[in-house]
């Protein structure tokens, strides 16, 4: 009996055929997940390396939200020179695949930065700056780095908050000064007692009574 006759052909609607199909889909899904995770890790690695080189160029203890927003804008524009070169090639060769990919990447990162926020190392914290400065490029420990989403409007909010606080403080001080000037100070009890008799109507009345002459007429008998 030949090997061909020993092997049975599976019916496409049988339970065994469905099980084999499910297992095949599971394997494909797992491969895609691993590939996507590796891609995310690679993107994160290059991003962290870029920020590490940036803080080494401009070393500080911590960075404000406005400074971090400037770093993010610079990072999003990292491929602009390559895009310009590809635009020239596109006009000559009529190939735009790489150009479209880079432009789409830039548009997506800009959209994240303006809406939900762009995820970067949280260098507004001392611990994150210290960790990033001492990092040796090991991919396995990169998940220990504190990350945070920063928005493009955070820098503007920081400036507006500072201005509003200063204005409010100045206004309150001016109001207090005007209130102190317009409200007369109440004299103390000691000042009232030591003040002249003319300031007290009862004292004036007592003084006038004492100054009246005493009648010396003799009583009638």
For position 119, what pLDDT does the model report? Answer: 94
For position 57, what pLDDT does the model report? Answer: 93
Q: Determine contact, residues 139/45, Cβ cutoff 8 Å.
A: yes
**Fold of the CATH domain 20-162:** de novo design (two linked rop proteins) (1.20.1440)
Span 62-86, pLDDT tens digits: 999 999 999 999 999 998 888 888 7
Q: What is the distance between the alpha carbons of residues 104 and 113, in angstroms, rounded to a whole number? A: 14
pLDDT at 151 over 60: yes
For position 27, what pLDDT does the model report? Answer: 81
Burial of 121 (0-12, 13-18, 19+ CB in 10 A): buried
> Mean pLDDT in the chain?
73
- The pLDDT-based confidence of 218 (bands split at 50, 70, 90) is very low
The token pair that represents 150 in the structure block = 């920063």
3-state secondary structure at position 186: coil
Average pLDDT in the 33-62 region?
A: 89
Q: What is the distance between the alpha carbons of residues 155 and 162, in angstroms, rounded to a whole number? A: 11
Average pLDDT in the 36-57 region?
A: 90
Q: How many CB atoms lie within 10 A of CB 124?
A: 17
DSSP conformation letters of 124-138:
TSHHHHHHHHH----
- The pLDDT-based confidence of 167 (bands split at 50, 70, 90) is very low
């Amino acid at each position: 009996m030949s090997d061909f006759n020993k092997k049975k052909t599976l019916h496409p609607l049988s339970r065994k055929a469905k099980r084999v199909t499910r297992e095949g889909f599971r394997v494909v899904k797992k491969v895609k997940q691993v590939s996507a995770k590796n891609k995310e890790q690679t993107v994160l690695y290059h991003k962290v390396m870029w920020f590490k080189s940036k803080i080494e160029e401009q070393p500080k203890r911590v960075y404000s939200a406005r400074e971090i927003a400037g770093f993010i804008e610079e990072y999003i524009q990292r491929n602009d020179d390559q895009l310009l070169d590809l635009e020239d090639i596109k006009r000559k060769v009529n190939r735009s695949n790489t150009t479209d990919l880079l432009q789409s990447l830039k548009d997506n990162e800009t959209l994240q930065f303006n809406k939900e926020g762009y995820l970067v190392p949280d260098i507004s914290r001392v611990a994150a700056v210290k960790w990033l400065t001492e990092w040796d490029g090991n991919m396995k420990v990169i998940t220990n780095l504190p990350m945070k989403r920063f928005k493009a409007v955070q820098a503007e909010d920081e400036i507006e908050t500072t201005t509003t606080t200063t204005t409010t403080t100045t206004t309150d001080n001016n109001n207090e000064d005007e209130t102190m000037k317009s409200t007369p100070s109440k004299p103390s009890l000691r000042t009232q007692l030591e003040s002249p008799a003319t300031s007290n109507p009862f004292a004036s009345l007592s003084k006038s009574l004492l100054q009246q002459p005493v009648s010396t007429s003799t009583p009638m008998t």
